[in-house]
Amino acid sequence: MRLEELIALISRKLGSTINQSMLAESLGITRQTVSNRIRNESEVTVSELIRAENFFGIKLFSKSEESDFDIAYIDYYNDVFASCGAGSIIFSSEKTKLPISAKMINGYSKNKLYSMINATGNSMAPTIDNGDKLIVEHWNGDQIQDNKIYVFCYNNEFFVKRLSKNIDEIIIKSDNPEYRVRTISAKSAIDMIVIGKIVAVVKTLN
């Protein structure tokens, strides 16, 4: 969704027209930035949709409108941090439904289950940076696709890494060359739980 589409949607939900200055205030950016992004056909980020909903006190998308705007609502676990470094997680049962453009999700299907978590650490940089949000397609027992990025649990720690399968081992790779390649033997892989595949990375805006 582009910014001009967001302005039109908010105006319709409120029953009164908002301008670029009002949108800028709701998003915490300048009016000139809004103007520039409209000219460049910039897409709205996930965090901006949340800010707009909170600022105007509205729900942007009803069930009937989700398909019109190609929107998927997925569970966002704000307090779940899948480590991209040494391996750590803070787990919470609290979750929020977030509107996500289905176009962002690689291979999106309404029949698949998705969640969003936060990344910490720098082992997957520059693909995934500290603070990025990761959309996870939950694993359903399919074969691991070589060199795809997965979230998995091993020895009670959570990791985000590229996985590849060898004859008798699983190869674990980081995108940051400072981190060495690791392997898990076929025997030890019994204790490895694949949570899902990363199908989208929502970059943090600095």
In Å, how far are 16, 85, 89, 172, 194 from 153, measured between CA atoms?
49, 13, 10, 12, 6
Q: Can you give the pLDDT at residue 164?
A: 94
The tens digit of pLDDT for each residue in 28-74 reads 999 999 999 888 887 787 678 888 989 999 888 766 665 556 778 88
* List of residues 6+ apart from 168 with CB closer than 8 A: 185, 186
What is 54-85 written as a DSSP string?
Answer: HHHT--S--HHHHTTTTEEEEEEEEEEEEESS
C-alpha 43, offset from chain centre: 15
Q: Can you give the pLDDT at residue 78?
A: 80
What CATH number should be reported for the domain whose range is 3-60?
1.10.260.40
Percent of the chain residues topping a pLDDT of 70? 88
Q: How confident is the model at residue 160 (pLDDT cuts 50, 70, 90)?
A: very high
Indicate left, alpha or beta for 132 from its phi (over 0: left) and psi (-120 to 50: alpha): beta
CATH topology for the 71-202 domain: Umud Fragment, subunit A (2.10.109)
Residue spans per domain, the chain: 3-60, 71-202
Q: Do β-strands 71-83 and 114-120 pair in parallel, antiparallel, or remain unpaired? A: parallel
137 strand-pairing partners: 114, 197
Q: Which of the pair, 75 or 79, is modelled with greater confidence? A: 75
Cβ(30)–Cβ(24) under 8 Å? yes
The tens digit of pLDDT for each residue in 81-129 reads 666 655 554 455 677 877 787 888 888 888 889 999 989 899 999 999 9
